[in-house]
């Protein structure tokens, strides 16, 4: 397994598998954290990726995860650019190859 750390993201992988774990809350909005993480994995600029809005309602995602709530933890999972994205209201952001998801 290799460790290709990019900024504060943790990127590990072997045989084409990728994993990023980071805290999206350092970004202004959850969607920005997602795009930055995917860009890091794909070794592209965020502007070179297709719009995240093709896969998920970005305004709803930002509103849902950015809301302060004392209720249960909110999380969302979806596929973007062939990768499984799981993001939590707490700030956790995990991006995996679909083969890693169980």
CA distance 90 to 74: 8
Domain map of the chain by residue range? Answer: 2-96
Give pLDDT tens digits for 27-58: 889 999 999 999 988 889 999 999 999 999 99
Selected residue with higher pLDDT from 67 and 45: 45
The DSSP code sequence of 20-71 is EEEEGGGSSSHHHHHHHHHHHHHTS-GGGSPPGGGTS-HHHHHHHHHS--SS
Return phi, psi of residue 33, to 5°: -60, -40
């Amino acid at each position: 397994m290799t460790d290709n750390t990019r900024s504060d993201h943790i990127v590990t992988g072997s045989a084409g598998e990728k994993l990023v774990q980071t805290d999206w809350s350092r970004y202004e909005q959850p969607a920005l954290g997602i795009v930055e993480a995917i860009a890091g994995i794909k070794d592209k600029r965020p502007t070179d990726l297709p719009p995240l809005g093709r896969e998920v309602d970005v305004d709803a995602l930002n509103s849902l995860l950015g809301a302060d709530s004392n209720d249960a933890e909110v999380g969302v999972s979806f596929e973007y650019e062939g990768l499984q994205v799981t993001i939590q209201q707490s700030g956790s952001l995990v991006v995996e190859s679909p083969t890693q998801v169980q």
